[in-house]
Chain A
Amino acid sequence: MRIKCPLCGDRDQREFTYMGHETYLDRPADEGWSPAWDTYLHLRDNPAGVTRDLWYHGAGCTSWLLVERDTTTHDILRVDLARDAKRGRG
């Protein structure tokens, strides 16, 4: 598997580690424990098809990446810097 890092270019999978679904970008604002937090930490879909998840280019530029891929074909459709994606969603 290879991922095209927006900064480093096309790289082998061994440079990356996986974290999980893009949900992790949307940290709830609630100060205390709440259903939103429960969802944030624990509830995930398991889609057959397009999904977006976070990968760490730890052996490269140390950017966190938002990777859009298809779980059925393994196609990687799009890769963005997570910091840009986060800024985009506020």
Chain B
Amino acid sequence: MVRLIAKSPSEGILPFEVNGLTLVELDVGPITSVAPFDGQAVAASDRLRALAGMELPKPNRSSGREGARAVWSGAGQAMVLGVAVDAAMRQHAALTDQSDAWAVFRLEGQGVEDVLARLTPLDLNPGVFKRGHVARSLLGHMSALFLRVSGEAFEIMVFRSMARTAVHEIEVAMKAVAARKALA
């Protein structure tokens, strides 16, 4: 029997590089939203620590590391990336599979903040928005999640259906920043 072939959200349009900055698509593995029920936040966090060695993150923060990360994603909600969350957690939190709902990008290079300054109203200055910091905000007109993973790299999550627009807008910003640098 024929098998269903999986396609990634940005298949065929990534990666690319502009003047030392790169944009790549990441396969972060399973993504599960975890929203602890009333009074269950601590229990849910304990369960996650037992399972994957990380806590449920506080607002605007992430926990864990690449490959197994939990990212705050809104009021009373986090996304667990890279590890499957076990059913035992269901008694503490609403778990929802989001593995296919997001396009995940990594934007990296010197001056990455300059590119993002064209796209989001967030203050991403390194002194303010440090490694591991997370924000839900806008990328252009799109709802997005920003995570700083290093001094020069961000992971950006947008809804799958808008991956092409997001890539287009990031590319335009990358090229504009590069053109400015060439001018100086």
**A residues neighboring B (CB under 8 Å):** 7-9, 11-12, 14-15, 58-63, 81
CB distance B121 to A9 under 8 Å? no
A59-B137, A60-B137 in contact; A7/B121 too (CB < 8 A)? Answer: no
Give Cα A47–Cα B163 distance, bound, in whole angstroms.
45
Say yes or no for B85: interface residue by CB 8 A criterion: no
Given the complex, which residues of A lie within 8 Å of B143, measured CB to CB? 58-59
96-148 of chain B: CB within 8 A of chain A: 121-122, 135-138, 143
Say yes or no for B88: interface residue by CB 8 A criterion: no
Give Cα A14–Cα B74 distance, bound, in whole angstroms.
17
CB distance B137 to A62 under 8 Å? no
CB distance A11 to B59 under 8 Å? no
Given the complex, which residues of A lie within 8 Å of B135, measured CB to CB? 8, 60
Say yes or no for B63: interface residue by CB 8 A criterion: no
Closest residue of chain B to A12 (Cβ to Cβ) is: B121
A-B contacts besides A7-B60, A11-B122, A15-B137, 9 pairs, CB < 8 Å? A11-B121, A12-B121, A15-B121, A59-B143, A60-B135, A60-B136, A61-B136, A62-B74, A81-B75
Given the complex, which residues of A lie within 8 Å of B59, measured CB to CB? 7-8, 61
Give Cα A9–Cα B134 distance, bound, in whole angstroms.
12
Closest CB-CB distance, B35 to chain A, in whole Å? 11
Closest CB-CB distance, B9 to chain A, in whole Å? 20
A12-B121, A15-B121 in contact; A7/B137 too (CB < 8 A)? Answer: no
CB distance B136 to A8 under 8 Å? yes
Give Cα A7–Cα B138 distance, bound, in whole angstroms.
16
A8-B59, A9-B60, A12-B121 in contact; A59/B138 too (CB < 8 A)? Answer: yes
Give Cα A14–Cα B59 distance, bound, in whole angstroms.
20
